[in-house]
Amino acid sequence: MLDVLLLGGALVLLLSDRRLTVPSGTVLLSLVAATAAARVAMADLPNVQPVSVMVLLAGATMGARRGVAFAVLVTILSNTVLGDGLWTLLQAVGWSLMAVAGSKLDLLEHGVLRLGRATSLACVLALPFGALTTLSVLGPNVGLDALPALLWSGLPFDAAHALGNVVVMLWAGPSIVRWMTFREIADPMAITGLEADASLV
């Protein structure tokens, strides 16, 4: 039920975006599939989450609305392989907040990634993301009193997440921005006066 609600929310965000066209939507969904595949492929690396960099830059390049939809869709798609549960909701929320942060914190300057700022943000945001997803462990047998110990024991994994974010951002951040910066290509046949010229070629 949670997955259905998350998927519905992502679709509402996309369909309510009047700027979204079929070509840009196709690019977005292709990037969702590629990001989910990368997460699954890197699953053996403890808590290295390439999704974090992708959603941060999705927010920066596409805006908060598409960035949140991107984050939710990647979470659901990758967790169909890696395992689904309450953590899916918390991961989707955490990555959505990263996308919003990416949209608000001026990570781009004239279309170019401000690499230092983006890398620092990706590193820092790994810690609250880890704390948020740790809440999925709480339940009938694990109370709030166990939360400090859980957070402490999770610090090495959060550090791995932060380090992975730094490496991915430095290695591929500018390229990811270029992939995500979609530009509509005008149809030459739709430009007045070109139909006749084209017919003579």
2-184 under CATH 1.10.1760, yes or no: yes
94-114, pLDDT tens digit by residue? 999 999 999 999 999 998 999
User: What integer pLDDT is reported at residue 123 of this predicted model?
Assistant: 97
Give the span between the Cα atoms of 32 and 70, in whole angstroms: 6
Concatenated DSSP letters of 49-105: -HHHHHHHHHHHHH-HHHHHHHHHHHHHHHHHHH--SHHHHHHHHHHHHHHHHHHHT
Residue 104 Cα distances to 1, 93, 113, 126, 145, angstroms: 31, 17, 14, 17, 35
Cβ(122)–Cβ(90) below 8 Å: no
Nearest to residue 163, comparing CAs of 32, 45, 31, 37? 45
Give the span between the Cα atoms of 170 and 164, in whole angstroms: 10
Instruction: Flag whether pLDDT at 187 surpasses 60.
Output: no
48 against 201, higher pLDDT: 48
User: What integer pLDDT is reported at residue 198 of this predicted model?
Assistant: 38
Taking the domains of the chain in order of start, what are their residue ranges? 2-184
121-153, pLDDT tens digit by residue? 999 999 999 999 988 877 767 777 778 888 888
82-98, pLDDT tens digit by residue? 988 888 999 999 999 99
Confidence (pTM): 0.85
